[in-house]
C-alpha cells in the first residue's frame, strides 16, 4: 500500500512540474508578445496600404478557397474575397466534389462559364474536371474536381493558380478588406520570407454586409464565447511569441500566405494528415534547411480573418479531436527536427515544446487530474502541495486567459462594447473550471484516434449563414 501511495505522490509531483513548465513558458511568451505587439503597433504609423500601393515590388496573389458542402456560406465568402483592397490578385475557389448545392450556388451567383485556362499538375491532386471563369468577376476562377479532401483541394488550387504567392482561407471565413495588404508586407520587405500567417477571430453573431464584417458582436452561445477566449490567447501571445523567437510551427490553415515555388519544392500539401497547415510549415522548413537556403516564417497579429466556429459540443469535439490528430501526425512525420540544432529555435525549442506539452500533454494532464483527485480523497497530499498544484494548474491558466483579453482591449479593441469585454473576462476565468478539462479529454481522444489510424476526412461541422445586418434589424 505504501508503494502505491508513494507512486501517487511522485506522479502528482511530476504533473505539478509539468503545469509549472507549461504555464511558465506561456507566461514568458506573454511577456515577449507584449513588447512585440507594442512595437508592431508603433510601426503601423506608416500605413500598409500606402507602402504597398506605392511600391513597384508588390506581389500579385492567388487567393485559394477550398470548399466542400459549403452552400450556406460560400457565396458570401467569395463576395468578401472579391472586394479586398489589393492591386492585383485572383480568387481560386475549389469545389472538392461537394454533394450539396455548392457548385450550383457558385454558378448562379457568379455567372460561371467553362474556361480554357491551361495548367499543369505541379503537385499531386485528384482530377480537375472543369475550370470555370466568371462573366461578372474577371479575377474569379472556380475549379470543380473529384473529392480528395482539403489538402488535395488546396493542391488543385496551387496547380491552377498563376501568381507567385498564394493565400489559403476557408469557405466559412471573411477577410478584412486590408488583410492581404498587411499579410504580404513581409514579402515586400524581406526576400527570405516564404510564409506569413495572420490572426483568426470568431465571426459567429458578427454583422456582415457587402462581404465585410461591419460590427463585431459577441455570440450569446457559451461554447462560442469560450472559443473567442481561446483564439485570442492562441494568436495574441501564443503564435506572436513563437514568431518573435523564430520558432513558428503552425500557421493557420484558415489564413496564411505562402511562396508558391517553395511549397511546390516541398511537394505541396500532404493528403496523409488532417493537419495539413502545420505539416506543410514543418516540411517547408526541412526542405529549406536541407537545401541550405535562408528563410523566414512570420506571424502577424493584425491581418484578420473572421471565421465561423462550432456552436455545439458535438461539432467542437470533432474539430478538436481532428486538430489533435493533425498535430500528432505532423510532429511524427517530421520527427527528425526533434532537438536538432540544424533547425535552430524550431528544432531546439518549439518542436520539443509541442511534442511534450501539446502532443503528450493531454495524456499527462488527464492522468494528472485523476491522480490528484484520487490522492486528495485518500488524504495523502499535504495542504501546501494542494494549493501549489491548484495555482500551477488553474490560477496560472486564469492569468494567461485574462492577459489575452487585456491584450485585445489594449492593442486592438475589436470588442468596443463594455459588456462584451466584461463577459470575455468572466469566460476567461470560467474556462479553467471545466472547459479546459473537457478540452483535454477531447484532445486525449484525438490521440487515441491517431494511434488507431482513423481515416482522414474533411469533417462535418454545421454551418450557418453569416449574421447579416438586415437580418439583425428585422429581429429588433
Please name which of 87, 81, 106, 111 lies closest in space to residue 95, comparing C-alpha atoms: 106
Average pLDDT of every residue of the chain: 89
Between residues 43 and 55, which one has the greater pLDDT? Answer: 43
Of 328-332, 424-428, 457-461, give the lowest mean pLDDT range.
Answer: 457-461
Average pLDDT over residues 25-41: 90
The answer for 204, left when phi > 0, alpha when psi is -120 to 50, beta otherwise, is beta
* Residue 443 pLDDT grade (very low, low, confident, very high; cuts 50, 70, 90): very high
Q: What are phi and psi of 192, to 5 degrees?
A: -75, -15
Residue 231: which of 449, 412, 448 has the closest Cα?
412
In this prediction, residue 471 has a pLDDT band, given cuts at 50, 70 and 90, of: very low
Per-residue pLDDT tens for 83-139?
Answer: 888 889 999 999 999 999 999 999 999 999 999 999 999 999 999 999 999 999 999
Quick check: helix, strand or coil at residue 196? strand
pTM of the model: 0.88
On whether the CB atoms of residues 171 and 253 are closer than 8 A, the answer is: no
List residues bridging with 199 in a β-sheet: 304
* pLDDT of the residue at 475: 29
Helix (H, G, I), strand (E, B) or coil at 259: strand
Sign of CA dihedral 27, 32, 35, 40: negative
pLDDT recorded at residue 454: 63
94 backbone dihedrals φ, ψ, rounded to 5°: -115, 110
* Residue-level pLDDT at 33: 93
Q: Which CATH number applies to 22-356+458-475?
A: 3.90.550.10
Mean pLDDT of 359-376: 92
Judged against a pLDDT cut of 70, whether residue 425 lies above it is answered with: yes
Distance CA 213, CA 203 (A): 8
464 pLDDT tier (thresholds 50, 70, 90): low
Exposure string over 242-269, b if 16+ CB within 10 A, otherwise e: bbbbebbbbbbbbbbbbbbebbebbebb
Tell me, what's the pLDDT at 341?
Answer: 93
What is the predicted pLDDT for the residue at 465?
Answer: 57
| CB 74 within 8 Å of CB 93 | yes
DSSP 8-state symbol, 134 = E
Q: How far apart are CA 445 and CA 287, in angstroms?
A: 32
Average pLDDT over residues 134-151: 95
Q: What are phi and psi of 256, to 5 degrees?
A: -145, 160
Which residue would you say has higher pLDDT here, 307 or 85? 307
Q: Please state the rounded mean pLDDT for residues 343-349.
A: 93
Transcribe 215-250 into DSSP letters: E----S-HHHHHHHHHHHHIIIIIIHHHHHHT----
3-state secondary structure of 163: coil
Domain coordinates in residue numbering, the chain: 22-356+458-475
Query: What does the alpha-carbon distance between residue 162 and residue 164 come to, in Å, rounded to a whole number?
Result: 7
Query: How many whole angstroms separate alpha carbon 361 and alpha carbon 379?
Result: 26
Residue 38 banded pLDDT, cuts 50, 70, 90: confident
Amino acid at each position: 500500500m505504501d508503494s502505491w501511495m508513494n507512486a501517487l505522490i511522485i506522479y502528482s509531483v511530476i504533473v505539478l512540474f509539468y503545469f509549472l513548465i507549461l504555464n511558465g513558458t506561456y507566461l514568458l511568451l506573454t511577456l515577449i508578445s507584449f513588447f512585440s505587439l507594442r512595437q508592431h503597433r508603433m510601426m503601423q504609423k506608416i500605413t500598409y496600404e500606402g507602402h504597398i500601393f506605392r511600391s513597384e515590388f508588390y506581389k500579385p496573389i492567388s487567393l485559394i478557397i477550398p470548399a466542400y458542402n459549403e452552400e450556406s456560406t460560400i457565396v458570401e465568402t467569395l463576395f468578401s474575397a472579391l472586394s479586398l483592397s489589393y492591386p492585383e490578385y485572383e480568387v481560386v475557389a475549389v469545389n472538392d466534389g461537394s454533394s450539396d448545392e455548392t457548385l450550383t450556388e457558385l454558378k448562379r451567383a457568379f455567372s460561371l462559364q467553362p474556361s480554357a485556362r491551361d495548367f499543369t499538375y505541379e503537385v499531386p491532386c485528384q482530377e480537375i474536371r472543369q475550370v470555370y471563369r466568371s462573366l461578372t468577376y474577371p479575377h474569379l476562377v472556380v475549379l470543380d474536381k473529384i473529392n480528395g479532401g482539403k489538402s488535395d483541394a488546396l493542391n488543385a488550387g496551387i496547380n491552377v493558380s498563376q501568381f507567385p504567392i498564394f493565400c489559403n482561407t476557408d469557405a466559412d471565413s471573411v477577410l478584412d478588406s486590408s488583410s492581404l495588404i498587411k499579410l504580404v508586407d513581409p514579402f515586400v520587405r524581406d526576400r527570405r520570407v516564404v510564409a506569413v500567417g495572420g490572426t483568426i477571430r470568431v465571426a459567429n453573431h458578427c454583422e456582415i454586409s457587402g462581404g465585410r464584417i461591419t460590427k463585431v458582436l459577441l455570440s450569446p452561445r457559451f461554447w462560442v464565447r469560450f472559443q473567442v477566449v481561446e483564439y485570442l490567447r492562441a494568436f495574441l501571445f501564443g503564435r506572436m511569441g513563437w514568431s518573435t523567437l523564430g520558432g513558428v510551427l503552425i500557421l493557420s490553415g484558415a489564413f496564411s500566405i505562402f511562396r508558391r515555388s517553395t511549397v511546390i519544392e516541398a511537394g505541396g500539401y500532404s493528403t496523409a494528415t488532417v493537419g495539413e497547415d502545420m505539416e506543410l510549415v514543418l516540411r517547408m522548413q526541412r526542405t529549406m534547411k536541407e537545401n541550405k537556403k535562408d528563410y523566414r516564417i512570420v506571424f502577424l497579429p493584425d491581418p484578420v480573418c473572421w471565421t465561423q466556429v462550432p456552436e455545439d459540443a458535438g461539432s467542437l469535439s470533432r474539430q478538436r479531436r481532428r486538430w489533435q490528430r493533425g498535430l500528432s501526425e505532423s510532429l511524427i512525420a517530421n520527427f527528425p527536427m526533434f532537438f536538432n540544432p540544424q533547425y535552430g529555435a524550431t528544432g531546439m525549442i518549439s518542436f520539443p515544446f509541442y511534442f511534450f506539452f501539446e502532443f503528450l500533454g493531454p495524456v499527462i494532464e488527464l492522468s494528472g487530474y485523476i491522480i490528484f483527485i484520487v490522492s486528495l480523497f485518500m488524504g495523502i497530499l499535504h495542504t501546501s502541495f494542494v494549493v501549489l498544484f491548484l495555482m500551477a494548474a488553474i490560477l496560472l491558466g486564469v492569468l494567461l486567459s485574462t492577459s489575452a483579453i487585456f491584450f485585445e482591449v489594449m492593442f486592438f479593441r475589436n470588442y468596443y462594447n463594455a459588456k462584451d469585454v466584461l463577459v470575455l473576462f468572466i469566460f476567461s476565468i470560467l474556462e479553467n473550471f471545466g472547459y479546459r478539462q473537457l478540452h483535454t479529454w477531447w484532445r486525449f481522444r484525438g490521440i487515441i484516434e491517431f494511434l488507431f489510424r482513423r481515416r482522414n476526412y474533411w469533417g462535418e461541422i454545421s454551418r450557418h449563414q453569416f449574421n447579416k445586418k438586415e437580418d439583425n434589424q428585422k429581429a429588433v
